[in-house]
Structures are given as structure tokens and as C-alpha cells.
Amino acid sequence: MMKFTTWAMLATQVAALGKTKRQRPLTFSKDGTFQIAIFEDLHYGEAPGTFGPTQDAHTSKVVSKILEEEDVDFVVINGDSVSRDNLMLNSTGYMNHALAPFVKNKLDWAITFGNHESNKNRRVEDVFAVEQKYPNSRSKSMISGQDAGITNYYLPVYPADCRSGCGCKPELLIWFFDSRGGFNYNQTDAKGNQVHRQTWVHAEVVDWFVTERNRLARQSSTTIPSIAFVHIPVDAFYAVQQGPAGIDPNRHPGLNNAFERSQGAGFCSDGVRNGTCAWGGQDVPFMQALVDTPGLLGVFSGHHHANSWCYKWTAEGLPDYPVQPGPDGLNLCYGQRSGFGGAGDPIRGARQLLLRKDKIANGEMDTWIRLETGEVVGDVSLNATYGEDRYPEVKYRESFCQECFKWADYKPTVPR
């Protein structure tokens, strides 16, 4: 009885922290599955006077096509839904454009913010307010600190027969983190340039995560499987890519064409950003918290448009790295960049994640990428032998907004 009361309290707290409106709980399907479509780097709202609306229409077409092809239960929008370059004061409105295909398809979603939602003319709180108006939104903001970012929260997913969320024990926890980045609102430096925001999950958020995770674990007699979404990858993504084994096209199928650092990139360890430091290590406490989380099956990120692999990070892989995963390792997955805005032109698509109750209990997930062409690539099972099993290679391909070329200011960038 005690346990039932506690889970009822959790459901109430989750509801109270979000919108006042009552939403049915997120549940697995009757067949025990829960499929998440991950869209990321949609980059709506560039160049509103020229190619922007055409480019955005291309993006919406890709999203709609993927939703048509896949049997999606839930959507995660993993950062950079709108582009940062648009400094117009009305640019929060592009969030409505980004969400329209999901509303049309009657799908619920959860969002993380990336490094593009913010600029000197755009307050992340205002972008979030636009998103929060939709009944389909499951996004929350569970910790409010001046610098903590907005999209830090978790969502429980319950068994199919759980009607109200009361008295049911979650079978999955989905964590969302705000990696910040972009530019501070209403701030310019002495030269009139925008001021960079920090590009890592804030220490306050890490503390909240550890406390909340431990509290949830105490309420449960068993480990609840979990997954995590954060737009800017943690440094371990870069470390495994650069590591002795590296990304094998057959064992980690996906694009592998961006070789840049991620959270804490370009900052010195004291937080100074003066062009002399490669990585400040500010994401080490967050990585430590992730690897210390029993049942955490994977971390999903976007940000580097030309990467779309999954890698099982293990202790043997990087013996000298400051953070080490537990004996089961931790899956690090890029999604597939979905939008036509932003840098580079790797083919658009969306990572799909199929969670089955029986498989996640064994630490396994299935995932694949649905491309804008309708093709499926990188179809893998993140199971005990992921990293050893061989799969067909995913070749690097590009796609363009052909109609956008008629505008002189449309200059697709070459992927780095």
C-alpha cells in the first residue's frame, strides 16, 4: 500500500509541475511497445524575407513523410527547433511552424532546447511559452534557476492499463536536459557582439538529477529502465569517436563526418572562452551522474548534423578517460538531422527508437533511421553484443532544397 501511495504522489507531482490541464499518462501500447521518433535540428525560421519559408516547407514535408511511414507513439524534438540567426523580435513564432506537423498528426511530444533557441533578441522563456500552449506538449521545466536552462525534466511511461497515472509504477523514465549554448538574451559585449551562453548542463541541474533519480530509485523495488535526451552531446561522444577503436562503419552504422568537441567546447576549465582552450571539462560531473544511473540505457544527442551513429561506451574502450561507465556500458547515440536549416547538407531523416518492455528490462533497445526518401538505414539492436555485431554501412549522402537556390542568399554549406 505504501508503494502505491508513493507512486500516486509521483504522478501528482509530475502533473503539478507541468500544465494545469489534465493529461492522460504516457503509456506503453497493449503489445508492450513504445516507439519514439526523434526529430532534431529542425532549424525553422531562417531568412524570413527570402528562402526561409520555402526551406521550412521542405522541412515540414520531411517530418510529415516520416510520420506517415512510421508507427510513432511519441515524438522527441531534441533541440534546435528554430534557428538562432533570426534576430527578429517576432522569431519565437517559428516554434509554431516547427510544431505544426506533430499537431496535424495528433502526436504528443517532448522537447529539449539546443544552442539555437536563444539569442540576444529571443528569451528562451518566451520560446518555451509558445511551446507550452499546446495540449500535445508533454515538456516541462522542473528546475528554475537563472542559468539552469529551461528543458530539464523527466517523464514516466506507464503500463498500457494505467488510466490515470495514479497507483501505477512507471516502466520507463525519460530524462530531458538543457545543454544551453547560443547567446544570452539582451546582452552584447563592448564591441556590440552577442555574448555566448555556457554550453553544458548546469551544475545545479546535475544536482537536481542526482537527487531526483535517487528519490525515484528509493520508491521502487526494481531498477526502472531510463533513457536521456540532451541536444549538445557530452564529451564522451567525441572521446569514443577519437578513441583507439573509433567509429567502425559496420559496427556503428551511421554518418560519421563531424569531428568537433561538444559540451564545454572552446571553454577553459575556469569558464573563460578566449580561443585558447579546446575543452573545459565542465560536463564531467554530468557524465559521472549519467554513468552512475542504474538502468540508464542510452543518451541521445543531436547538434553535429553530419553524425548519426550509436556507440556503446565501455570502460575498456577509454581506460584513461576521467569518467568510466559501469560493466554494461552506456549507449551514446546521435540522431539524424531533420531540418533544412543550419549547417551542412547531409540527408535528412529521423532516428526511431523502439522500446519493448521485455527488452528494456534486459537493457536492450532497437533503433533505426528513417530517411526523407523513405529508406531505412542503420537498423541496429542496442543489445549485449552491440559494437561487435556487423551491420551494413551507411554511406554519406546529401540532399538540398533545390527551390531555394533561386535566392542569392541561399548558400548551402559544405559539411566539415
Ligand X SMILES: *[C@@H]1O[C@H](CO)[C@@H](O)[C@H](O)[C@H]1NC(C)=O
CA–CA gap between residue 293 and residue 307 (Å, rounded): 26
Interface residue with ligand X, options 270, 316, 320, 358 (CB under 6 A): 270
Element (H, E) at 240: helix 235-242
Q: Does 343 bind ligand X (CB under 6 A)?
A: no
Applying the rule CB under 6 A, the residues between 307 and 336 that interact with ligand X are: none
DSSP 211-222: HHHHHHHHH-SS
In angstroms, give the least distance from the CB of 274 to ligand X.
Answer: 4
93 binds ligand X (CB under 6 A): yes
Q: Indicate the residue among 145 and 392 with the shorter CB distance to ligand X.
A: 392
Q: How many CB atoms lie within 10 A of CB 33?
A: 17
276 touches ligand X by CB under 6 A? yes
Q: Which residue in 9, 87, 129, 272 binds ligand X (CB under 6 A)?
A: 272
User: DSSP characters for 375-406?
Assistant: -EEEEEEESTTTTTS--------B---GGGGG
Q: Which is nearer to ligand X, 48 or 344 (CB)?
A: 48
Smallest separation, CB 311 to ligand X (Å): 15
β-pairing, 183-188 vs 194-196, is antiparallel
Among the listed ranges 11-19, 271-279, 307-315, 337-345, the one in contact with ligand X (CB under 6 A) is: 271-279
186 in contact with ligand X (CB under 6 A):
yes
Among 268, 291, 343, 361, which residue sits at the site for ligand X (rule: CB under 6 A)? 268
Q: In the complex, what is the shortest distance from the CB of residue 100 to ligand X, in angstroms, rounded to a whole number?
A: 12
Told to check if 94 binds ligand X by CB under 6 A, we report yes
Residue 50 lies near ligand X (rule: CB under 6 A): no
Locate cell 506533430: which residue? Answer: 102
Contact call for residues 372 and 54 (beta carbons, < 8 A): no
Tell me the three state secondary structure of residue 175: strand
User: Can you tell me the distance from the alpha carbon of 325 to that of 227, in angstroms, rounded to the nearest whole number?
Assistant: 15
C-alpha cell read off for 376 = 531505412
Q: Which of 137, 11, 159, 6 is nearest to 75 (CA)?
A: 137
> CB nearest ligand X: which residue?
93
- The four Cα atoms 160, 164, 165, 171 give a dihedral, to 10 degrees, of 0
Touching ligand X, residues 375-414 (CB under 6 A): 381, 383-385, 389
| Nearer of residues 69 and 379 to ligand X, judged by Cβ | 379
Q: Is 250 in the site for ligand X (CB under 6 A)?
A: no
Q: How many angstroms separate the first and last alpha carbons of the chain? A: 57
In order, the DSSP letters of 43-103 are: -B-S-TTTTHHHHHHHHHHHHHHHHHHS--SEEEEES-SB-TT---TTGGGHHHHHHHHHH
Residue 309 beta carbon to ligand X: minimum distance, rounded to whole angstroms: 16
| Among positions 19, 32, 33, 48, the unique one binding ligand X when judged by CB under 6 A | 48
User: Which residue in this structure is represented by grid cell 560536463?
Assistant: 283
Q: Are strands 330-334 and 349-356 parallel, antiparallel or unpaired?
A: unpaired
Binding residue for ligand X, selected from 192, 274, 316, 402, defined by CB under 6 A = 274
Binding footprint of ligand X, residue count (CB under 6 A)? 16
Q: In the complex with ligand X, which residue's Cβ is closer, 274 or 402?
A: 274
Residue 26, amino acid = L
Q: Is 188 in the site for ligand X (CB under 6 A)?
A: no
In whole angstroms, how close is the CB of 8 to ligand X at the nearest point?
A: 37
- Smallest gap, in angstroms, from Cβ of residue 60 to ligand X? 14
- Closest separation in Å from C-beta 277 to ligand X: 7
- Are 84 and 119 in contact by the 8 Å Cβ rule? The answer is yes
Q: How far apart are CB 17 and ligand X at their closest, in Å?
A: 26
Nearest CB to ligand X, comparing residues 51 and 94: 94
The runs of H, that is alpha helices, within 105-200 are: 124-132
What distance lies between CA 191 and its chain's CA centroid? 34
| By CB under 6 A, residue 12 contacts ligand X | no
Under the binding rule (CB under 6 A), the answer on residue 90 touching ligand X is: yes
Told to check if 211 binds ligand X by CB under 6 A, we report no
Footprint of ligand X on this chain (CB under 6 A)? Answer: 48, 88, 90, 93-94, 186, 268, 270, 272, 274, 276, 381, 383-385, 389
